[in-house]
Amino acid sequence: MTSALVSAALEVEDAFAANELFQKNGWTDGLPVVPPTEQGVLRFLAAVKLQPDDTVGVEPVRRRRITAEKVAIAALMAGCLPEYMPVVVAIIKALCRPEVGLHGSTASTGGSAPFIVVNGPIRTALGMNSTHNVLANGSRANATIGRSVRLFLLNVLGGVPGQLDRSTLGHPGKFTFCVAEDEEGSAWLPLSVERGIPAGTSAVTVMAVESPHQIMNEWTHDPKEICDTYAAAMKSNMLTYSIWEGNYAVVIPKQHRDIFAESNWTKANIREYVFEVARVKRGEWRTVGKAAVAGRKNEDQVYRALRTPDDLLVIAAGGPAGGFAAIVPPWYGKKSLAITEPIVV
């Protein structure tokens, strides 16, 4: 790697001083960072065979070109290892697709975060977590890959709270929100394969989302009843947050997957059933304090959560015990859609 970095170099006494400098200047998410030294950044670039000025993507609204150097800095700061870089690069490429609506979801008062699902052999190579506590702490790879996105948004695209980022509340997924699918523990097709990526190819799926809603149904072995519970959470989101259709994700741990397997239900069966039942009438807004909005149009008008069954992302992940699942609602319906990007290793 012979090309020089173009980012400004600052001299500090030690790592503690570096962290204080980053905190003072708002270059971090509030947590400590790994100081991005020139040697470290070059090591991360070498892991993906990129030069510092190589283009990873272009943010489509403000037309900001994203260089490999800036992506490497964010990944190093977040605590990634160099071998995580192919995943981070694929995520940034996906986020730069216009369908994601990155600028809108970053600037919105709705306070969304990118939700990242990793598929393929790279999950196990990096030791990513797909089971216990999958939506939370416990895996360096999950945590730091997700966090690299937030540091990238802060320092490269200016997504600073109170400035470009106008989130009223935000949610904890804005620190990090990255999972691996439990392909080994599931007979289902991986999410990436369902979305057109060849089997055996590593990939990321990215969508702008609100906070996950954990649900529980431990009282049935009827897959339709479990899906009714999933749909109830989606309908609640439609009434209390946004009625607009688009991508939803459902994260399904092993106990529910076993029930679906007993009835030979595939991911497609789940999508098709939920598509039919996840709907509300406009007049139902009256039941959640939105009477002023309900009466503006035909109150019998039906709204679906999904445009088609394929809008529902069904993800196999989570611990082996417990009749739980999580519904991950979209930031703004069809204005921000999920994108799947292959990982170049």
pLDDT, tens digit, 9 for 90 and up, residues 26-75: 999 999 999 999 999 999 999 999 999 999 999 999 999 999 999 999 99
pLDDT score recorded for residue 119? 98
Each residue's pLDDT tens digit, 257-282: 999 999 999 999 999 999 999 999 99
The token pair that represents 293 in the structure block: 């909005």
Share of the chain above pLDDT 90, in %: 95
Confidence of residue 315 (pLDDT cuts 50, 70, 90): very high
- 149 contact partners, CB below 8 Å, separation of at least 6: 74, 88, 91, 92, 95, 114, 116, 176, 178
The token pair that represents 296 in the structure block: 């503006």
Contact 234, 274 (CB under 8 A): yes
Domains of the chain: 1-210+335-345 (no CATH), 211-329 (3.30.2320)
pLDDT score recorded for residue 325? 98
In this prediction, residues 198-204 reach a mean pLDDT of: 98
pLDDT score recorded for residue 39? 96
In this prediction, residues 190-201 reach a mean pLDDT of: 98
In this prediction, residues 227-243 reach a mean pLDDT of: 96
Confidence of residue 240 (pLDDT cuts 50, 70, 90): very high
Residue 216, pLDDT > 50, answer: yes
Whose tokens are 């989101």? That residue is 237
pLDDT score recorded for residue 1? 42
Which element (helix H / strand E) includes 155? Answer: helix 140-155
Sequence-separated contacts (24+) of 171-174 with Cβ below 8 Å: 171/111, 171/113, 171/210, 171/211, 172/211, 173/113, 173/115, 173/209, 173/211, 173/212, 174/29, 174/111, 174/113, 174/150
Residue 99, pLDDT > 70, answer: yes
Instruction: Please state, rounded to an integer, the average pLDDT across all residues of the chain.
Output: 96
pLDDT score recorded for residue 150? 98
In this prediction, residues 145-164 reach a mean pLDDT of: 97
Residue 118, pLDDT > 70, answer: yes
Confidence of residue 3 (pLDDT cuts 50, 70, 90): low
- Residue 186: C-alpha distances to residues 234, 255, 265 (Å): 24, 11, 12
Report the distance separating Cα 100 and Cα 96, nearest Å. 7
Please state the φ and ψ torsions of residue 89, each to the nearest 5 degrees: -60, -45
Confidence of residue 295 (pLDDT cuts 50, 70, 90): confident
pLDDT score recorded for residue 297? 83
In this prediction, residues 220-228 reach a mean pLDDT of: 98
**CA 245 and chain centroid, separation:** 18
The token pair that represents 189 in the structure block: 């097709």
Share of the chain above pLDDT 70, in %: 99
Burial class (CB in 10 A: 0-12, 13-18, 19+), 221: exposed
In this prediction, residues 15-34 reach a mean pLDDT of: 96
pLDDT score recorded for residue 2? 46
